[in-house]
Amino acid sequence: MRINRISGLLLSVIAFAAPGFAQETADSVAPEGASEGQVQALTDELIAALEAKTNGVPVQSENWMVAAANPLAVEAGAKILRAGGSAADAMVAVQVVLGLVEPQSSGLGGGAFLVWYDAATGQLTTLDGRETAPLDATPTLFQDENGEPLQFFDAVVGGLSVGTPGTPALLEEAHRRWGRSPWPGLFTDGIRLADDGFLVSPRLASLVANDAERLSRFPATAEYFLPEGEPLQQGQRLMNPAYADTLRALAEDGAAGFYGGQIASDIVRTVRSAPGNPGVLSGTDLALYQVIERDPVCAAYRTYEVCGMGPPSSGALTVGQILGMLNSYDLAAMGPESMETWRLIGEASRLAFADRGRYMADSDFVPMPTAGLVDPDYLAQRAELLNAEGALTDVAPGNPEFDHAMNWADDESLELPSTSHISIVDSYGNVLSMTTTIENGFGSRLMTNGFLLNNELTDFSFRTHRDGVPIANRLEPGKRPRSSMSPTIVMQDGAPVLAIGSPGGSRIIGYVAKSIIAWADWDMDVQQAISLPHLVNRFGTYDVEVDTAAEGYADALIEIGFEVNPRDLTSGLHAIEIGETLSGGADHRREGIALGE
Ligand code: GLY
């Protein structure tokens, strides 16, 4: 009975009590409602977690919590936490299951950024597991014989776009630093589900159907996602024995079992022999891959420090710029229904994106004004531009303090939404916020050993120069492409109070900034903040979430002077508030849950 009830709930009304926003129907806001098949596979505790999301209330717990994009992955992490594992241990279990049940978004063939609060030391740090450009890659990799940029999907599909995967090394490094559970046990659920099969979720089924033509171009990929030529169906049991073998190799040999030996050879062969679009990744690239520890980038907002991933991600800098510019405006008094609120958020975002396009890239390769970009004086000066009547007609990069004079041209890389976010708090007080990706949905569409390979290199600018001036985020051998991933931990008085992040291409930045504002200024709990309809502005056009109350703001935004584009805005926010108790939220726009005890 309960099974039927939750299934019905998911397919009927999704109520979320965001102040000022009308309740939405599932038809309009939940493109990925759970199927009967999915639900039947779930335990009572997962069903309760789905109910909480459906009812728009946060999940509460005392000791630990995990929030991620698929119930089976969350359950794998919960088992580890329940048995006394750390957030880093649980993350490994979550990631290896996500790579199986949500293969289009993240996995072993991709990269990730991890932000970590260490309860024992009180310190925040970050791990950069971003893909690298192969050493054989040239800056003009994505240009045709006339020096013109390739069409986006001509570059994405095939071997050319594949960077050196970073995720397996990141899993091992996080476990080496912060793990408490034996490494092999973290793969148990992933191996079992890959061997025995799992039920294809509605989201996976619909994305396979939409991408069937591209997935059909490569035999290994077609065989898995389009068995006998037909797209996978939701509720169908899917086994992935090749992935189970890969997980066994990782469990036994660690990341060395991925970056060397048979799996590494298979990756290189798959990339270099991709029909029509071979790439240049080599065994040397895999053997040389390194995770890099980096200082977090933090920006002040109200009584908080909002901390996240610095370069090569633009995430923390751009989120920090938006919040920093808004810091002197009383958004709490204006509230979420004021058009002045959305004018200010939209314009701060456009200004931040102008700086992002000019200055942000892999700072190991290009000089970057990292500190200058979030300097409060600089942001106060940029915020003066917000004192305008209508929409700004001219939005240009500013001049942050820069100790290394450099003249950059504006970037034009295109990032389409995919990706996944994991938030975890363990019973020791450690906090993990990790965003993980293979870039485009299904990445390069190349598959080997049961996992998809990324297309992360298309996050570089396809052009190298503009009017003779170099672009900071141009491709260079060994460089990491600029990201928008924004895994975030919000601190107050030296203690973590919120872990949050999202998928969504470069709109990730707007989703995360808006949710932090809703939580910090409008007293929304994490579930309300996540569920609040999206309004996102990056380059001038205001994207408003179709069929939500946000769409009702279109006329007023047009009157202010914005172009408006109603569209799906499929974030996948997963957040945990850390107070006396833990309070978790999962995005109704995807299939995830928060779960804790
Ligand atoms: N490929 C998505 C991102 O890194 O932002």
According to the 3-state scheme, what is the secondary structure of 42-59? CCHHHHHHHHHHHCCCCE
Q: Look at residue 34 and tell me if it is in a domain.
A: yes
Are both 226 and 329 inside the same structural domain? no
Asked whether residue 482 carries a pLDDT value surpassing 80, the answer given is: yes
- The mean pLDDT value for 293-300 works out to 97
- Secondary-structure percent of the chain, ordered helix, strand, coil, rounded to 5: 40, 20, 40
pLDDT confidence of 330, banded at 50, 70, 90? Answer: very high
Are both 270 and 309 inside the same structural domain? no
Q: Which residue range forms the structural domain that includes residue 370?
A: 295-400+409-415+484-596
Q: Is the CB of 448 under 6 A from ligand 1?
A: no
Q: Look at residue 132 and tell me if it is in a domain.
A: no
- Give the sign of the dihedral formed by CA 201, CA 95, CA 317, CA 472: negative
Mutate to test the pocket of ligand 1, among 131, 484, 486, 507 (most ligand atoms within 8 A of CB): 484
- Residue that has been written with the tokens 């996102």 in this structure: 536
Are both 97 and 207 inside the same structural domain? yes
Give the chain's radius of gyration (CA, Å): 22
What is the number of structural domains in the chain?
Answer: 2
Q: Is the CB of 484 under 6 A from ligand 1?
A: yes
Ligand 1 atom with the smallest distance to the CA of 484 is 5
Are both 448 and 555 inside the same structural domain? no
Q: Catalytic: 164?
A: no
Ligand 1 atom 4: the closest Cα is on which residue?
483
Q: Is the CB of 440 under 6 A from ligand 1?
A: no
pLDDT digits (tens, 9 = 90+) for 427-442: 999 999 999 999 999 9
By CB atoms closer than 10 A (0-12, 13-18, 19+), residue 327 is: middle
Are both 308 and 281 inside the same structural domain? no
Quote the ligand 1 centre to 439 CA distance (angstroms). 6
For the sheet with 297-301, list strands across it.
59-61, 582-586, 574-578, 495-500, 488-492, 304-308, 297-301
Are both 64 and 201 inside the same structural domain? yes
Are both 252 and 373 inside the same structural domain? no
pLDDT, the chain, mean: 91
Q: Is the CB of 313 under 6 A from ligand 1?
A: no
pLDDT digits (tens, 9 = 90+) for 347-361: 999 999 999 999 999
Are both 252 and 147 inside the same structural domain? yes
- Residue that has been written with the tokens 């107070």 in this structure: 579
What count of other Cβ atoms lies within 10 Å of the Cβ of residue 465?
13
Q: What is the DSSP letter of 185?
A: G
Q: Which residues have CB under 8 Å from 243's CB, separation 6+?
A: 99, 100, 190, 194, 449, 450, 451
Of the listed ranges 37-46, 145-154, 289-298, 553-562, the one predicted with least confidence: 37-46
Question: Which listed residue (132, 167, 419, 437) is catalytic?
Answer: 419
Q: So what's the pLDDT on residue 307?
A: 98
Quote the ligand 1 centre to 61 CA distance (angstroms). 31
Are both 250 and 334 inside the same structural domain? no
CA pair distance 588, 573, nearest whole angstrom? 9
Q: Is the CB of 285 under 6 A from ligand 1?
A: no
152 half-sphere exposure, CB direction, 13 A CA radius: 12
CA pair distance 46, 145, nearest whole angstrom? 53
Ligand 1 atom 3: the closest Cα is on which residue?
483
Q: Is the CB of 419 under 6 A from ligand 1?
A: yes
Quote the ligand 1 centre to 292 CA distance (angstroms). 17
pTM: 0.92
Are both 223 and 247 inside the same structural domain? yes
State percent of the chain over pLDDT 70.
91
Are both 196 and 318 inside the same structural domain? no
